[in-house]
Amino acid sequence: MCWLTSGEDPFWAEPRSCRLLASVDGPPPHDRLLVLGIDPPAIGQGFGLGGTDIERIVVASAYVGDTIDPLPTLPVHVHLLLIRDEPNELPSVFAAEDLRLVSRGTLVESRAAAERMAESLGRGREYAS
């Protein structure tokens, strides 16, 4: 589908492949949210998750009025949100209290594009293919 990276946050700069798990309704001002499976997973310890890795993340458009579903032409800037209490089954609607904003990122079309963005933070050479 796409790749997740960040040109702003070194933690999220590592290129991660994304697969769409669900499209759900979100709290205002976000009409739709995408739930993405990410690979490689992110280390959850810094987010209070102990030894649990982050294998899925919710993304919302970073700009009010923009939509994320259908996915617009890439690249697209997004808010990265964690689900507070990971449910076994994804709901069709998330309330604001269900999600925690952790950073901003960018969805790009290829690993190469993600690596270029990561290199802008001086982090790109650390990642294995």
pLDDT in tens, the chain (129 residues): 899 999 888 899 999 999 999 999 988 877 899 999 999 999 999 888 888 899 999 999 998 888 888 888 999 999 999 998 877 778 888 989 999 999 999 999 999 999 988 887 665 444 433
**Predicted local distance difference test score (pLDDT) of residue 122:** 61
Taken in order 18, 7, 112, 108, the sign of the CA dihedral is: positive
Single out the residue of 41, 91, 81, 86 nearest to residue 60, CA to CA. Answer: 81
Structural element, H or E, at residue 76: strand 76-83
CA distances from 54 to 5, 10, 12, 72, 119 (A): 15, 16, 12, 25, 23
- Model pTM score: 0.87
**Predicted local distance difference test score (pLDDT) of residue 124:** 46
**Predicted local distance difference test score (pLDDT) of residue 75:** 93
**Predicted local distance difference test score (pLDDT) of residue 76:** 93
Query: How far apart, in whole angstroms, are the C-alpha atoms of residue 4 and residue 21?
Result: 15
Non-local CB neighbours of 87 within 8 Å, separated by 6+ positions: none
